[in-house]
Structure 1
Amino acid sequence: MMTRRGDARRSTPQFTPTKHKAKTLKQEQMCRSPKFVNLPAKPVYSMTSRDFQMDTNAHVEVIGEQLKDFCCINFYQAAIIQNKHLFRGRTVLDIGCGAGILSLFAAKAGAAHVYAVDSSNVLDYTEQIVRDNGYAGVIHVIKGSLANIELPVAEVDIIICNWLGYSMLFQAACGMVIYARDKWLKKENGIILPDVAKLFMAAVEENKIKNERVEWWNDVYGVNMKCMRECALSEPSFQLVQPQQLLSTQFGIKYLNMYTATRKDLNFRCKYMLEMRRSGYMDGIVTYFHVFFTKSHTPMGFSTDPCAMRTHWMQTVFFLDKSVHVTSGELYYGGIEMCSVSRDFDLNNMELGFEMFSGDPAQLQLEAEMRWKLKPHAAIANDKIKANEKENELEKKGQDQQLEKVITIKKNPVSPKISIKVEKEKKSARSPVSPTSVVLGDYVYPCVAGKKGKKTKHSKKG
């Protein structure tokens, strides 16, 4: 290596590391973000993607989706805050508390002690939320399943729990409420919120979603995948149903009272009768439920039917293998069964059986017979919500664009052809217009058309 003359004889200076002065508190705050430094040593902060698959309730997006169900959360808030006389000075047990929103409502209503129980790592967030809201002395967070925990008290006055599921029972927490009721709830004047629910069914016309989910598998890019069609047909669709898609009247198939219900009541079989309100093709059945809190001084509840405000449960549609043509005013009979696959009343793995007959009760004709499997799912509901919202947004946008187009043509008629086309698309109830007339806005102008073989005046100029 070549060096300048005299560089080789020079001694390399020795540098000694200097001691840096300690940073002040303000300098440390400027150099680091307090949101990500010194996080508490909690299990939820070290969870991986595989852990969240086993504990989905701890994921922040799942927590947000549950709290954004305004219809459900507003019901619980109103039922608790407007009945402070029931909560004031009482001991409350919140089962499956999640982020602790119901526990906070109970504490604000004047509860003396609230025991928030959950087996998910979401409780790491709950503890911080409780402290940040100043209720650490009232709300006691307990982690674990109900069968393995011990409460500091022998009995509680009130049990609050969002124990509903899809089709009321699928993935529901009814079993935990029944267990806690028999073990801790006061025998006299004990309260369960909510306490009553009723499941309904109706015939539905939903050809579009059925084609997308089921019939699409008949021909996939020229490949036979009909085996996948059977699998897609055996699982229900959790989606939003419009009121105009209902073909029949609704029929109540299950009534559940949490004060008297047992685990055997979570499986049921009953008969039904549907009266068709209009003619059409019945693509399947839809189920939804109503919920009530009967101990309130005013009747309180909410519904998940198609005419009500959207909830995260939406509606559950069970598609038939072959659509059935129904006639207005006709009656259909049959039986429906909903039960757990295992013997331990596991509500996370259920089946729904269905059979439908028509005609004279003495000589019934079998129209449909199906059996569906309700298996645990993670993202189906969220995907369907986003898909339905996008579809409604596009539909509304298209209607607005069509309306703007009609208004523009009415104000500024460009050509008679466009005006006539708009009138045909609108299919209005006006008097029939002859083909030799032009429609401009709300007025009809007759055209001077010459007879065949004769030239009209100024024909070259049009």
Structure 2
Amino acid sequence: MEGMSRSPPAGSYSNGHHHKLLGGGTAQRDHFRSRRSRQSGVTRVSSGQQETEAPPPCTDFDKAYFQSYSHVGIHEEMIKDRVRTETYKTAILQHQSYIQGKVVVDVGCGTGILSIFCAQAGAKRVYAVDASEIALQANEVVKANNLSDTVIVLHGRVEDVQIDEEVDVIVSEWMGYMLLYESMLGSVIVARDRWLRPGGLILPSNAVLYMAPVTHPDRYAESIDFWRNVYGIDMSPIMPLAKQCAFEEPSVETISGENVLTWPHVVKHVDCYTITLQELESVTTNFKFQSMMRAPFHGFAFWFDVEFCGPAAENDAPSSESTKSNPRRKRANPSEALVLSTAPEDPPTHWQQTMIYFYDPIEVEQDQVIDGKVTLTQSKENARFMNIHLEYASGGRSFVKECVLR
């Protein structure tokens, strides 16, 4: 979704979120303004469609999440991420033949920039959907660019707004930290199952979440070893508290390829044409690494790639049945796919990498095995939060790390 609060600059770190809430990350920072269906020209399209089931209720957590996107600074940071924004623009232009003269829905449109890219690519009609108050500004942006006849801004949740026609293309910037944080992919799935015609296009089409063991002595020295000698005073008694404060929860920061101890492991492959809401509730994978060097092992890093491929064939289109029977859709020309990567060795993005640090490093030798299991689960308290359960072993010792990305 276009929108995020300020993440730390490269080289710094934050126990924060992709699309973090402003004001210290407090979900209840502001009162909740009720969603308005018709304001400042913002339209809700209704139809006589029969809804098979009532949409899930909009919780207070959802309202706080949507409210956090009303701040223009969130969208400014997203748009200024040139890797992210220019890759999306390139992907839209590369798929212009699928977009020109067609109907598009932009899920989580934010300020409407991706919707406008689609209109510039020749879309017949673009439904720009956003539950945040930023939809009001998006509508003004559309007017300012003389695109009101093409781009229709819908202020509301994907689960609630009505579109009375099938769409040919879904575009969305839904990725959160660790790819799945925020659960916004669920909104893309809902849009796909409600509106996408057989053989339609989804951008991005695939995503892969990776993890790898890392060494980061500088980070440990800055946060922990600092307390050993502070202006000549031994403040080491503070170190246990410092470890807890620095490493208890996931940390979003930028590392380099030099920090990574070995080749990454695929935690989850996401096929946007077939993935189900149930698959997002919990993801588990077993991993086994072999360190390429002798170094202190400080924790695990997570990052992701997304891929922009062409649509499925007409007879391989997503549907409620095909998503159950065809768990892995065949990619269209994968060698030609455009990729947006948040890997440590690639140009930095606002997503950076998500780090899970240990309180104390483990010394590993070259070729030493690191194995275990990781489980990522949507929080029962708030499905937009992610519970992380890590079991890992190396050198004959076993450990467990649990934390929450919130």
Instruction: Give the alignment's TM-score, normalised by structure 2.
Output: 0.73
Query: 1:273 is paired with a residue of what secondary structure?
Result: strand
Tell me the residue number matched to 2:267. Answer: 253
Tell me the residue number matched to 1:277. Answer: 292
The one-letter amino acid of 1:147's match is E
Two-structure CA RMSD over aligned residues (Å): 2.6
In structure 2, which of residues 180, 190, 193 is the aligned counterpart of residue 169 of structure 1?
180
- Aligned-pair distance for 1:299? 1.6
Question: Whole-Å Cα distance in 2 between the matches of residues 358 and 138 of structure 1?
Answer: 58
Tell me the residue number matched to 1:435. Answer: none
Q: Given the alignment of the two structures, is residue 351 of structure 1 paired with residue 366 of structure 2, yes or no? A: no
Residue 185 to residue 42, structure 1, CA distance change in 2 (3 Å): closer
- Aligned-pair distance for 1:124? 2.1
Residue 325 to residue 117, structure 1, CA distance change in 2 (3 Å): same
Tell me the residue number matched to 2:376. Answer: 338
Structure 2 matches for 1:259-270, cutoff 5 A? 259-266=273-280, 267-270=282-285
Structure 2 matches for 1:14-53, cutoff 5 A? none
Cα displacement string for residues 251-276 of structure 1 (whole angstroms, at most 9, x for unaligned residues) = 11111111111122112111011121
Residue 138 to residue 218, structure 1, CA distance change in 2 (3 Å): farther
Query: 2:88 is paired with a residue of what secondary structure?
Result: helix
Question: Whole-Å Cα distance in 2 between the matches of residues 235 and 356 of structure 1?
Answer: 17
Identity %: 29
Structure 1 contact 219–225 (Cα < 8 Å) conserved: no
Structure 2 contact 297–362 (Cα < 8 Å) conserved: yes
Query: 2:175 is paired with a residue of what secondary structure?
Result: coil
The one-letter amino acid of 2:284's match is R
Question: Whole-Å Cα distance in 2 between the matches of residues 260 and 85 of structure 1?
Answer: 23
Query: 2:105 is paired with a residue of what secondary structure?
Result: strand
- Aligned-pair distance for 1:367? 3.8
- Aligned-pair distance for 1:56? 2.6
Question: Whole-Å Cα distance in 1 between the matches of residues 224 and 190 of structure 2?
Answer: 39
Tell me the residue number matched to 1:82. Answer: 94
Question: Whole-Å Cα distance in 2 between the matches of residues 373 and 310 of structure 1?
Answer: 24
Segments of 5+ residues of structure 2 without an aligned counterpart are 1-38, 42-62, 311-331
Query: 1:110 is paired with a residue of what secondary structure?
Result: coil
- Aligned-pair distance for 1:82? 2.0
Structure 2 contact 210–302 (Cα < 8 Å) conserved: yes
Cα displacement string for residues 373-430 of structure 1 (whole angstroms, at most 9, x for unaligned residues) = 111xxxxxxxxxxxxxxxxxxxxxxxxxxxxxxxxxxxxxxxxxxxxxxxxxxxxxxx
Structure 1 contact 241–315 (Cα < 8 Å) conserved: yes
Query: 1:171 is paired with a residue of what secondary structure?
Result: coil
Tell me the residue number matched to 1:8. Answer: none
Structure 1 contact 92–157 (Cα < 8 Å) conserved: yes
Tell me the residue number matched to 1:92. Answer: 104
- Aligned-pair distance for 1:225? 7.9
Residue 106 to residue 315, structure 1, CA distance change in 2 (3 Å): same
Residue 52 to residue 358, structure 1, CA distance change in 2 (3 Å): closer
Structure 1 contact 196–258 (Cα < 8 Å) conserved: yes
Residue 322 to residue 232, structure 1, CA distance change in 2 (3 Å): same
Q: Given the alignment of the two structures, is residue 372 of structure 1 paired with residue 384 of structure 2, yes or no? A: no
Segments of 5+ residues of structure 1 without an aligned counterpart are 1-40, 44-50, 360-364, 376-462
- Aligned-pair distance for 1:357? 2.0
- Aligned-pair distance for 1:140? 0.3
Structure 2 contact 176–182 (Cα < 8 Å) conserved: yes
Instruction: Give the alignment's TM-score, normalised by structure 1.
Output: 0.64
The one-letter amino acid of 2:372's match is G
The one-letter amino acid of 2:278's match is K
The one-letter amino acid of 1:79's match is A
Question: Whole-Å Cα distance in 1 between the matches of residues 228 and 403 of structure 2?
Answer: 19
Structure with the greater relative contact order (CA < 8 A, sep ≥ 6): 1 or 2? 2
Residue 127 to residue 110, structure 1, CA distance change in 2 (3 Å): same
Tell me the residue number matched to 1:286. Answer: 301
